[in-house]
Amino acid sequence: MTNYIVVTGGVLSSLGKGITSASVAALLGNSNCRVSMLKIDPYINVDPGTMSPLEHGEVFVTADGGETDLDLGHYERFINSNLSKRNNFTTGQIYQTVIERERRGDYLGKTIQVIPHITDEIVRRIKAAGKDADILVVELGGTVGDIEGLPFYEAVRQMKRQLKHKMFNIHVTLVPYISVADELKTKPTQHSVQELKRIGITPDMLVLRSEKPVPKEMRKKLSVACDVEFESIIEATDAKSIYEMPLKFFDNGILHPIARAFNYDELKPDLREWKKLVKAILEPRREVTIAFVGKYLELKESYKSLIEALTHAGAHTDCKINFRWADSEKLLDEGVEKTLTECDAILVPGGFGTRGIEGKIAAIKYAREHKKVFLGICLGMQLALIEFARNVLKIKDATSQEFDAEAKNPVIYLIDEFIDQTGNKQIRTHCSQFGATMRLGEYECNLLENTLMSKAYGGEKKIFERHRHRYEANAKYRDQFEASGIVVSGEAKGLIEAIELRDHPWFVAVQFHPEFTSRLQSPNRIILAFIENALISAEKRGK
């Protein structure tokens, strides 16, 4: 039977429940446990797919096409394995499922209530996510006491009553430092635990988030006040890198209470490779400056996976990544050359909509003309084709149907149909309704030999990467592109997946999102190649 570790949070959000969950899972995985993870989101949206990145941060995409919370990205990066749609669910999904069953008559005319129907569905999904795992680490989003989270806490309470010693609760809470009094305060943690107990859950472990070390006497006080064993009071001070946290938790003995609770022998994770990579992140010998030309820069978590993927590549090249954040809406006013000239490489990431498009196109033009190392991702590839069509092919009105549905020269267009990752034909609808059909999840990409793409992927002829987009490169213009200097270095079933420039040191753009498959222990290879070539550029510039 599966054991369950449920991670809850108190006092306020953004304490680090996701990193705590991922760190515990990483330690267990490196101890030869079969570990999986689940994120429960109490919001009523069915999924984050239609949310603005500025509202909720990045939408992470699983291999099977799930649009999920960004914490699933952390999970995959820490446990170095793929998760699926079933590893994230929301209040919206729970209620949608129960209401659909009620409409079909599955409940035989009974009155549908939160208890037992909603909580039963929550329990069913938790158990489904834990199938085939020794341990399922469950992160319950939100903060204890939030009204929208109550059915989930009730479901966890029911599971704990049913499974007893196979359930373990870690409660992440805040020990704030009051600078005026020069004191750490335990009262917020005590109140948070009281609220958790009022719901019917007694925590088995406390993780104390604090900007300063929590003294032993203070931890003893919390042990007594919260009825948690002293060994299970774990300190979690701020770290320079999130990848330090598994090492910090291990040093603080976080595995001992878990092993005892589940009747395991001593857990001894192999952390040699992890320590080596963390050291490279914290003490790199080299550095590069990357111009990150985006339009969601007000909330950096909009690009969370990409930032982490660049960190992974930096760790494997012993290199610090310095970001030059370039707001694509302001780039033309601030000056393209002034902003980009001192950078070693230029990155144009994905995005949706027309805002900031001309700034991105100007950055791509600069990279092409000034031989700057360049990587375009998703929309970044589409804009690279538009820029080339306008300025090399002289098709001045070249654009995307995303920006102009009636475009005369739609270099990027909305195709009517495509084959999804399961081999089924999907029909696109020509409408602007949110949630319309997209290419989501993992698709194969065939690489052309003797190209930058092929070299980056070690000579492989076929790779698999994840997509999240609605528009495609229009094959009608392919001959013109190839005749004028573009190499189509990746394709699948007639769709253009990757391009590069023939007469350029390193200019690559891909339709997929390589950041979604990057992990600390196995960085995505095209992003790794991007950083390697940025380092070559930096060395030539004498940095």
The residue annotated as part of the active site, out of 76, 491, 497, 515, is: 515
Q: Which residues contact 151 (CB under 8 A, 6 or more apart)?
A: 91, 94, 114, 115, 118, 119, 122
Is the confidence at residue 510, as pLDDT, over 50? yes
pLDDT for position 424:
59
515 is annotated as an active-site residue: yes
Distance CA 33, CA 262 (A): 12
Residue 429: pLDDT band with limits 50, 70, 90: very low
CA–CA separation, 353 and 382 (whole Å)? 12
Give pLDDT, residue 423.
53
Non-local (6+) Cβ contacts of 498 within 8 A are 381, 445, 447, 453, 488, 489, 490, 491, 508, 509, 510, 511
> What is the rounded distance in angstroms from the CA atom of residue 193 to the CA atom of residue 407?
59
Q: How long is the chain? A: 543
* Cβ proximity of 249 and 27 under 8 Å: yes
Residue 422 has a pLDDT of 54
pLDDT of res. 49: 79
pLDDT tier for residue 273 given thresholds of 50, 70 and 90: very high
Question: Averaged over 29-49, what is the pLDDT?
Answer: 93
Mean per-residue pLDDT for 508-533? 97
Token pair listed for 486: 């573009």
- CA-to-CA distance for 505 and 366, rounded, in angstroms? 14
Q: With 50 as the cut, is the pLDDT of residue 328 above it? A: yes
CATH 3.40.50.300 residue window(s) in the chain: 3-276
The verdict on domain 284-540 having CATH code 3.40.630.30 is no
pLDDT of residue 427: 46
Q: Quick check: 249 pLDDT over 50? A: yes
* Numbered ranges of CATH 3.40.50.880 in the chain: 284-540
Residue of 382, 538, 366, 528 lying closest to 452 (CA atoms): 528
Instruction: Give residue-wise pLDDT tens across range 285-310.
Output: 999 999 999 987 777 788 999 999 99
pLDDT at 297: 76
- Mean pLDDT in residue range 517-541: 95
pLDDT, tens digit (0-9, with 9 covering 90-100), for 214-229: 999 999 999 999 999 9
Q: Kindly indicate the confidence band of residue 419, based on its pLDDT and cuts at 50, 70 and 90.
A: low
**Higher per-residue confidence, 415 vs 537:** 537
pLDDT band, very low/low/confident/very high, at 543 (cuts 50, 70, 90): low
Question: Worst-scoring range by mean pLDDT, 189-193, 204-208, 384-388, 423-427?
Answer: 423-427
* The token pair that represents 269 in the structure block: 């994770």
Is residue 365 within 8 A of residue 348, CB to CB? The reply is no
- Note the pLDDT of residue 428: 45
pLDDT attached to residue 21? 97
Query: Is residue 345 predicted with pLDDT exceeding 80?
Result: yes
| CB contact burial 56-85 (16+ within 10 A = b; e otherwise) | bbbbbbbbbbbbbbbbbbbbbbbbeeebbb
Average pLDDT over residues 120-124: 97
Handedness of CA 441, 77, 305, 307 (dihedral sign): negative
Q: Judge contact between 209 and 15, C-beta under 8 A.
A: yes
What architecture (CATH level 2) is domain 3-276? 3-Layer(aba) Sandwich (3.40)
- SS3 of the chain: helix, strand, coil, percent, to 5: 40, 25, 35
Residue-wise pLDDT tens digits, 459-473 = 999 999 999 999 999
pLDDT value at residue 90: 95
| pLDDT, mean of residues 349-366 | 93
Contact 80, 519 (CB under 8 A): yes
Q: Do 174 and 12 meet the contact criterion of CB atoms below 8 Å apart? A: yes
Cα–Cα distance between 383 and 400 in angstroms, integer?
Answer: 9
Res 426: pLDDT: 55
d(CA 125, CA 514) in angstroms, rounded, equals 29
Mean pLDDT of the chain: 92
Cα angle 87, 521, 169 (rounded to 5 degrees) comes to: 40
The span from the CA of 78 to the CA of 519, in Å, is: 7
End-to-end CA distance of the chain: 56
pLDDT at 51: 80
Task: Report whether pLDDT(98) > 80.
Answer: yes
**Long-range contacts: 324-327, Cβ < 8 Å, 24+?**
324/289, 324/290, 324/291, 324/292, 325/292, 325/294, 325/297, 326/291, 326/292, 326/293, 326/294, 326/359, 326/363, 327/294, 327/295, 327/297, 327/356, 327/359
Calpha distance 132→34 (Å, rounded): 8
Mean pLDDT of 123-137: 96
Clarify whether 319 is annotated catalytic: no
Q: Active-site residue among 33, 226, 378, 445?
A: 378
* Strand segments (E) across 129-226: 135-140, 167-174, 177-178, 183-184, 205-210
Query: Smallest Cα–Cα separation from 128: which of 32, 221, 40, 209?
Result: 40
pLDDT for position 420: 52
Q: Is 504 a catalytic residue?
A: no
CA-CA distance, 301 to 58, in Å (whole number)? Answer: 6
Is residue 463 a contact partner of residue 489, using CB atoms and an 8 Å limit? no
How far is C-alpha 249 from the chain's CA centre?
Answer: 22
Is 60 exceeded by the pLDDT of residue 46?
yes
Q: Can you tell me the distance from the alpha carbon of 47 to that of 303, in angstroms, rounded to the nearest whole number?
A: 18
Q: What is the pLDDT of residue 113?
A: 96
